[in-house]
Amino acid sequence: MGEDTPSSDQSELQCHDWGRHEKVVRVLNGEVGWLSCPLFSHPTLYNYSSTHSSGLSLVWYHLPPEHDVEQPIKYSQRVSKDRERLWLQPANRNDTGQYICMLRNRTSCTKISMSLEVMPLKQSGCPLVAMAPTPVEIPFQQGKELSCPDLQDVTKMADNSPSVTWYHNCDQHPFWDNERVKKGENLMVYQMGELFKGQYFCLVRYTRKNQTLNFTRSLNVSAVSPTSLPKMPIILIPNKDRRFTVRLGAEVTLECQAKFPYVQLAPPLKIWWSVDGIPWNPQTHLRFSQTDIVRLKEDHGEVTVKRGLVVKEVQKEDLSREFNCSVWNPKGNSTRRAQLHKEAYLPTVELGCGVGVTLLVMLTLFVVYHIFWLEMLLLYRSWFGTDERYTDEKEFDVYISYVRDGEEEQFAVSTLREVLENHLGYSVCIFDRDSLPGGTITDETLSFVGRSRRLLVVVSPGFASKGSQALLELKAGLDHMALGGPLRVILVQYRALRRQAWVGELRRARVLLALLRWKGDKSKELTSSFWKRLRLELPLQRAERTDSELATPRTLQSQTSTSSQVALLGGGVHRVQYSGGML
């Protein structure tokens, strides 16, 4: 009985079972694949030539999914055995499952199992690969010849020389440049550049027993730094110009950054901290801890990393300690000391309190100004303002202009006149009260306006239809202002007006002049904003009048022979003739 057929009593042997091999073999459906018995992965234990000469036979079994008993493999043109390998030329979906390779003779038996996964083909622009790509590193600006993995393994199984088709990121050879040329079955990269990085695929085709077979492999090509460059690691931080500022009693992290040039087959990166010449040890350096290595940048195989040393509760003696960062690779080593510097004292509490007090004062002033800005303006005006009575030759402080009809007339001759004369002490001129009978209205109006320091115009909806006298007064005041005279015009709105009620003169005056709005009951009190704003617009009075002067309105001295007195009785206007002065 040959080695390809197991004996009938193999189930009676007590085999030494090595369990299941951790590696899973994957192959695409329809491509060539093979299994290598894991027992021969340790040549010191098992060697195929020595075991075969000692009478041990290699037998393969297959345990399909959802089966409990493994079955001996029936060899054929598609499934064959060559030394320690089981070939599938090609593999199909039924080949998926667990495989057992057994070394046995009549008295001993050793076996191990492994898994095979047959993956389905999918339509894609790139070749499909079941196995992981093979990493290949090429120095920048240097060349290397790429060979297809496992190509030599199928050469002895093929009836002719295999053909290889190369792809780079889904582009089939020939490529767009002359720096990469196919050389036999291999691909020659003459000068490595950034554009040549990426994944390469090689599709192998060969003929066996009049059957065309194929398999695909991939390579992951990366560019590394040239071998001619210095390879010693370089410490970037700390350097001679870098000092770590620390605060006593606080926690600080000292950072070390280093660049490791590319070194082929180099061991893991080595970067560490030492305190007073002793490498950091968690058992001896209780107040210090070393952080993990962090990769910051990788470029052409060069790696920039950092590692920190945490100092808990910095003490005064730590300022004189030696904190050294060291790096090492097979080409050399380097060490750099971290310079500690005590942080200068900043009076943060004092500065914070000062800034807080300043902000509080500014906020208080802003609130005070926002609430009492009228009072502040009046106070400033009383201190630094100029009394116009001593600088001009005007007779009246205020001339009140109004439309002779309705509530505005009552408001003007009663409320405004009463407060201005009796409470605020201003000399007020009202045409209907202070004009002489028989005079020309136009001339006297212009005369009164010219002899007044302020023209107080009560805006009324009747300006357009009933305000001929008021319009004349307004125009006279505007003309005086236009000519640069000392007269100023003040607009008082007793009630809201529609846009159509603003005649041309009022519309122009509203843009340039102050407009005070009467707000009903809110404005009746003398402490309301209406009267305060009005006082700001009126002339400044430094000397207070006597009680007798405040109780009696100011009269024209030249009008003692004959005059007309306007008295408001029941809302009507009456002229009362008397001799000896005005009432």
Q: Does 79 map to a domain?
A: yes
Check whether residue 140 and residue 68 sit in a common domain. no
Check whether residue 540 and residue 392 sit in a common domain. yes
Q: Does 1 map to a domain?
A: no
**Overall number of domains in the chain:** 5
Confirm if 125 and 170 have CB atoms less than 8 A apart.
yes
Using alpha carbons, select from 12, 11, 25, 18 the residue that is nearest to residue 46: 18
- Specify the CATH number for the domain of residue 410: 3.40.50.10140
Check whether residue 405 and residue 538 sit in a common domain. yes
Q: Does 124 map to a domain?
A: no
Q: How far apart are CA 266 and CA 131, in angstroms?
A: 26
pLDDT tens string, the chain, 583 residues long: the values are 334 444 444 445 678 888 888 889 999 999 999 998 988 887 667 778 888 778 888 889 998 888 888 888 888 989 998 888 899 989 998 899 999 998 888 888 888 999 999 988 876 667 888 888 999 988 887 888 999 998 888 888 888 889 999 988 888 777 667 788 888 899 998 888 888 888 999 999 999 888 899 999 999 998 887 766 677 888 998 887 678 888 888 899 999 999 888 776 667 889 999 999 899 998 888 899 999 999 988 877 788 999 999 999 888 888 888 999 999 988 888 899 988 888 876 777 888 898 999 999 998 888 887 777 778 787 877 787 777 777 788 889 999 998 887 788 888 888 999 999 998 889 999 988 888 887 788 888 889 998 999 999 888 777 666 667 888 888 888 888 888 778 889 989 888 777 655 666 667 777 777 788 898 888 888 888 899 888 888 888 765 444 444 444 333 233 322 232 322 222 333 332 222 232 2
Check whether residue 454 and residue 363 sit in a common domain. no
Q: Does 128 map to a domain?
A: no
- Residue linked to tokens 């950034």: 194
Confidence (pLDDT) at 427: 92
Check whether residue 112 and residue 240 sit in a common domain. no
Confidence (pLDDT) at 441: 84
Specify the 3-state DSSP secondary structure of 243.
strand
> Which of 75-85 are b and which e, b meaning 16 or more Cβ less than 10 Å from the residue's Cβ?
eeeebbbeebb
Assigned token pair, 417: 């006149």
Helix orientation angle between 504-512 and 468-482, rounded to the nearest 10 degrees:
40
Confidence (pLDDT) at 501: 58
Check whether residue 396 and residue 526 sit in a common domain. yes
Residues classed as catalytic: 473
Q: Does 356 map to a domain?
A: yes
Distant-in-sequence, close-in-space partners of 373: CB < 8 Å, separation ≥ 6 = none
Confidence (pLDDT) at 265: 66
Specify the 3-state DSSP secondary structure of 135.
strand
Domain-terminating residue out of 163, 193, 224: 224
Confidence (pLDDT) at 552: 40
Check whether residue 545 and residue 463 sit in a common domain. yes
**Range(s) of the domain holding residue 102:** 10-119
The pTM of this model reads: 0.46
Confidence (pLDDT) at 570: 29
Q: Does 555 map to a domain?
A: no
> Which of 448-477 are b and which e, b meaning 16 or more Cβ less than 10 Å from the residue's Cβ?
bbbbbbbbbbbbbbbbbeebebbbbbbebb
Distant-in-sequence, close-in-space partners of 493: CB < 8 Å, separation ≥ 6 = 459, 515, 516, 517, 518
Residue 245 bridge partners (DSSP): 341
